[in-house]
Structure 1
Amino acid sequence: MSSIETGSPAVAAAPAFASGSPNARGLALALGGLAALVLFVGVPLVGDDYWLNAILIPFLVMTLASIGLNLLMGYAGQASLGTGAFMATGAYATYNLLLRLPDLPLPVSLVLGGLLSGLVGVVVGLPSLRIKGFYLLATTLAAQFLLTWIFNQYGWFSNYSSSSSISAPRLEIAGHDLSSPAGRYLLTLTSVVVIATIAAKLVRSETGRTWMAIRDMDTAAAVIGVPVARGKLSAFFVGGFVCGIAGALWAFAYLGTVDAGSFNLDRSFQVMFIIIIGGLGSLVGSVIGAAFIVLLPILIDRVAGGLLGGAIDAGQLENFQKVLFGALIIWFLIKEPRGLAELLARAVRWLRSPARS
């Protein structure tokens, strides 16, 4: 098992409930049930439109996109700057499925849109069979520019909209309207929980072990019989699938209307920053990194407005945020490549150490 996987906070905290005793299992189930109750019932009841629309929904979507990229980069070791392209593919594919097949249920459309994005991911990942590192990064960057150009250039993808943008169709499941902030939050939260659960099982399966063997040293993995080519392409497929669903939710559950420019290179970099700060090779790190990226700008705005009375304009604050993110990324890459997830794991181990008892 790789050092990155064992260093994740989820693994580090596992011994607290891994004793196998009925009490430990019961406590874990109780905590999980309480968390589900708070997230699925409490938050929609007490959360206002601002918190749901401007904070929680984008946080959840960015968490989902970073899980997709983390599976590809953090676990399989395949460099990619095509996250925005995968998200755009998922958004446009889901939009056209709902538009041209109106009887198709929303969950099915989301899954099919993700599958189409995953197939695009396989095509984008074909060069990984021959190249890696910076050169693979360059090919995914080319796919990023090419796909966004195609979606803007050909009107069929946006139903010949004059602005080349797509608008969210009616969001409903089994006749239940999900257009309200609470409904869109629950749709996004359910998608994240389901996909994160599947991803957690996947990285512990034979497929996950294959990815990590390829990440650590693909030549040695090939020597011992690991199917390197299949492993790389499966990572691109799964990463593209997850990012595709995230793109559809970004378009329909968050923005309501979107064009290909919403999934530009900046979006790809944003998701990459999330997994670097949160922790490569850690699903928990994807959640922590997304929270950090989404909440820190809001915190800076509130502090600047409260303490400085608006003396700093919005442009200067935005530049400060970019400088801060850049400095943090450099620091994490040099000092703590495993990100905030590793810092959290250390804190958990310190609290549970015998000296603290």
Structure 2
Amino acid sequence: MSSASSSASLVPGRRLAIPALPLRSVGLALLLALAFVGIPLVATDYWYNAILIPFLIMALAGLGLNLTMGYAGQASLGTGAFMAVGAYATYNLLLRLPSLPLPASLALGGLIAGLAGLVVGLPSLRIKGFYLIAPTLAGQFLIEWTFNQVGWFSNYASSSSISAPRLAILGRDLSSPAGRYALTLSSVAVVTAIAWRLVRSQTGRNWRAVRDGETAAAVIGVPVARAKLSAFFAGAAVCGVAGALWAFAYLGTVDARSFDLDRSFQAMFIIIIGGLGSLAGSFIGSAFIVLTPILLTHLSEAVLGAGLDGGQVSNIQRVIFGALIIGFLIKEPNGLVALIGRLWRHLVR
């Protein structure tokens, strides 16, 4: 031990500094332990099918859109189309290459969706801002129409729908609600970790530079075109994995209409309410989107004595989301994650 540290330990009232894990890392470790170990001990099939699995998948879809729109500032209404590409690509990989493991099929399906996002993002090299919504909206309609009209993608099914193949990894069946939750949670954890590393890399810094000022980014040497296209690729790839999980781990049977424009708007609501440019905001927004109709149903039963039908819940949900989006865009553009962060800092103080 050095003389400095020895003397410090002998001085009354002085203690040696002991390295400690960051509070955020400890909290994340506890959250993962709860998700992987704690929840399966108490969750029911209803929790898996109605809350946990759709929450995780839509959080992943919101995360993909957040990479493109929140971090890189590239407006997009093609989330549903990229989810469809991921679902149909994964289905065909599992159908035509049965020896391919399920994780590899999910990853390749996501990469194929990323290539579709790369093509849809090409107009971003010449179009900026709000006008970029037009080509992504065209891509949404074109991709949905293609899957409905070209029978090869659905193996010539009469309704152009695809059904989940046998979900298994290393011979372990994952078709039960708990197994599908484990598959979804593992996929979301891996993709989120990759996205976390990506947004903190030079690529992520380039995205933020383009978002904050494209001309200024070009002046300081940021490759603007590469940054835009990489944002579309990464965001669409994440959405592609989410689409495959939506088809196989959640619904079981889907067609292209399951990934229509409403799904794209849902992903946009998630990141606006949860927080643009925040990975945590994608999960907070998804929780809000998934839990709101369930809470409305239970609240109506408690207050009115009878539950609302699906159409009424959907209409009330749209009103609530619309009011919240207007409110957040005016008062708090960074969404719920910023409000929660301020509340946490206030409690800590």
How far is the alpha carbon of 1:230 from its aligned partner?
0.4
Compute the displacement of 1:24 (Å): 3.0
Asked whether the 8 Å contact 2:297–2:308 carries over to 1, the reply is no
Q: Which residue of 2 aligns with 1:169?
A: 165
Structural mapping, 1:179-328, within 5 Å = 179-310=175-306, 312-328=308-324
Name which of 32, 36, 52 aligns with 2:32.
Answer: 36
Alignment of 1:71-220 (within 5 A): 71-220=67-216
TM-fit CA distance, 1:38: 1.8
Does the 8 Å contact 2:77/2:133 carry over to 1?
yes
Shift of 1:32: 3.9
Quick one: structure 1 residues 227 and 303, their matched pair in 2 at CA, closer, same or farther if it must change by over 3 Å? same
CA drift of 1:202 comes to 1.0
- Contact map agreement 2:86 2:112 (CA 8 A) in 1: yes
Letter of the aligned partner of 2:108 in structure 1?
A: L
Cα distance in 2 for residues equivalent to 1:74 and 1:320: 27
Residue 318 of structure 1 and its aligned partner are, at CA, apart by 2.1
TM-align CA RMSD: 1.3
CA deviation vs aligned residue, 1:236-270 (integer Å, no higher than 9, x gap):
00001000000000000000010000000000000
Q: In the alignment, is residue 58 of structure 1 matched against residue 54 of structure 2?
A: yes
Amino acid at match of 1:47: A
TM-score (norm 2): 0.93
- Partner amino acid for 2:344? V
Q: Does structure 1 retain, via aligned residues, the 8 Å contact 2:71–2:276?
A: yes
Question: Normalising by structure 1, what TM-score?
Answer: 0.91
How far is the alpha carbon of 1:199 from its aligned partner? 0.9
Q: Which amino acid aligns with 1:177?
A: D
Aligned length in residues: 333
Amino acid at match of 1:107: P
Distance 2:169 2:231 in 1: 30
Alpha-carbon distance in 2 for matches of 1:59, 1:278 = 13
Report the identity percentage: 71
Letter in 2 for 1:141: L
Q: Larger Cα Rg: Structure 1 or Structure 2?
A: 2
**Alignment CA distance shift 1:301-1:23 (3 Å):** farther
- Which one is further off, 197-206 or 228-237? 197-206
* Equivalent pair of 2:61/2:239 in contact (CA under 8 Å): yes
The 1-side partners of 2:299 and 2:205 are apart by 44
Deviation track 1:306-329 (CA, whole Å, cap 9, x = no partner) reads 221117544223211111111111
Structure 2: gaps of 5 or more residues: 1-16
Deviation at 1:37, TM superposition (A): 2.5
Residue identity opposite 2:213 in structure 1: M
Q: What displacement does 1:45 show?
A: 2.3
SS in 1 for 2:213: helix
What's the CA shift string for 1:108-132, capped at 9, x where partnerless?
0000000000001000000000001
Pair 67,26 (structure 1): closer, same or farther in 2 beyond 3 Å: closer
Displacement of 1:36: 2.5
Residues in 2 aligned to 1:116 and 1:28: alpha-carbon distance in whole angstroms: 34
The match for 1:5 is: none
Aligned amino acid, residue 63 of structure 2: I
Paired amino acid for 1:349: R
Change in Cα spacing, 1:101 to 1:323, as seen in structure 2 (3 Å) is same
Corresponding letter in the other structure for 1:255: L
SS at match of 2:306: coil
